[in-house]
A and B are shown apart, each in its own frame.
Chain A
Amino acid sequence: MNGSSVIVKVVSLAIILPALTFGLYIIAHGHLTPGGGFQGGAIIASALAIFLVAFAKQASKTLRKNLLSALECLALLGFIGLSFLGLGKSFFFNFLANSGLIFGQAVPFGPNPGFINTAGVIPLMNFFVGLEVSCALTIIVLTMLKAGGDKK
């Protein structure tokens, strides 16, 4: 678990931060552009996988499996809880849409430039799903790296 050579380390440091930012952008604009929680979570998880491959020893100290699995369970519980909050009308009811609260702005019909403060619970669900997917895929990489990684 020594990590990779200097070249791989420098290049991965140059890649990781833009990849994390791009993943957060995809999650945050899930209700406006193609993409969303699953896709952005996969991008964040691939950035963390590059981090794990390049800096094996330091990275497995920084990314702890207990913390990641706790975050994953909390995100899944938040997703389910958010869907239960709409139970006044039905399961998974979008109770924040058109309400004037957070993400509650109405959208005009037809093509429009897109407003970030719209879509009700969809951005929150995107956030929870993105957190869950990124933590889940990172846990898979971390577990396999610890169990079968190079033992030198």
Chain B
Amino acid sequence: MELAKIAFFLIFTYFLLACALLLRPFGKPAVSDMDEYFILNAQREAASNNVVASIVFDYRGLDTLGEATVLFAAVSSIVLLFRGAPK
């Protein structure tokens, strides 16, 4: 049992070390078509200096709608939960 624990510890440590060595260097992300597209075209298409805002509210607006709906559901459930509380 102890041997199994030590073996698991060593294997997991070497796994983490290998992952850390295989990381990409800082500031050099993997090349993808989408980020180049957003950097080159977001200011022209969405007319917004803040490219993050243009992604959140324009390109991925449905995601923001889901977040707002989640917040609405959370507030509704909290109001429902405390409805029976003594005044």
Name A's B-contacting residues (CB within 8 A): 30-34, 36, 38, 65, 69, 72-73, 76, 79-80, 83, 91-92, 94, 97-98, 104-110, 112, 114-115, 118-122, 125-126, 129, 132-133, 136, 139-140, 143-144, 146-148
Contact = CB atoms under 8 A, between A and B. Distances in A.
Given A136-B74, A139-B75, A140-B74, 13 more contacts: A31-B48, A72-B72, A76-B68, A79-B65, A94-B46, A94-B47, A97-B48, A109-B43, A119-B54, A133-B68, A139-B79, A147-B82, A148-B82
B47 A98 contact: yes
Interface stretch (B1-9, B16-24, B56-64): B56-64
B49 A122 contact: no
Given A79-B68, A122-B57, A143-B78, A97 B47 contact: yes
B85 A147 contact: yes
Interface residues of B, number: 30
Main secondary structure of the interface of B (DSSP, over half): helix
Given A72-B72, A109-B43, A148-B85, A31 B65 contact: no
A140 to B, nearest CB: 5
Given A91-B62, A140-B78, A143-B79, A118 B57 contact: no
A91 B13 CA distance: 48
Interface string B24-55: 00000000000000000001111111101110
9 contacts: A83-B61, A91-B61, A94-B47, A105-B47, A118-B47, A118-B49, A120-B47, A133-B68, A133-B71
